[in-house]
Structure 1
Amino acid sequence: MKIAALHLAQPALPGLQEIAEVFHLTPRTMQRMLAKEQLTFRKLSDELKKQLGVILLRHDGYTITDIAYLLGYAEPASFVHAFKKWHGCSPTGIRAEVLNQ
């Protein structure tokens, strides 16, 4: 499902409706299938954003605002808040660590 999400990104990641259509399922059926695996679409989407965020931070050509937009956040502050929750520090801190290595 993560690969399908990446293929549909424009640049923001697609929603449940778009992913379900790729697999010829209704959104509700997709949710039930994920629930059997003890997952939610939100968890999968957040995990993908978490991974992509770190990858994009390695490229100093992208600002935090650019990365927030690419990951589908309306405001950079929302991305920064989510990133701190996931990693325990700000995107700027991670970027400094990665670029100084």
Structure 2
Amino acid sequence: MKYQNPLPLDTSQQAHLDAWADIYFKAHIVELLAIPLSKFLTAPTRYLAQAGQETALTANANDYRPLLPAQVAASQRIQKQWQDQDNAVPAEKSALQALATHS
């Protein structure tokens, strides 16, 4: 039995699909999220963000490769440390202000 696609893609649709498939593979989405291409295509920008690959589109558009999985993990650790430091600063200021008002 020969497969015939009842709804063939036009040139624009093919280019769109190829572009997202390229990002999917270059950004290592299957390794980072363990999802198939078909699922990724349902919400590609959401899955890029979930994988820590928010910069993948910009990188690809500028002829750079997206981050490798180890780079994503390192970036997430650094971002978390920065966030923790930012959250600690207001707490320290509040403690110092409390001490100053009670002195």
Q: TM-score, normalised by structure 2?
A: 0.28
Task: Give 1 or 2 for the bigger CA radius of gyration.
Answer: 2
Q: TM-score, normalised by structure 1?
A: 0.29
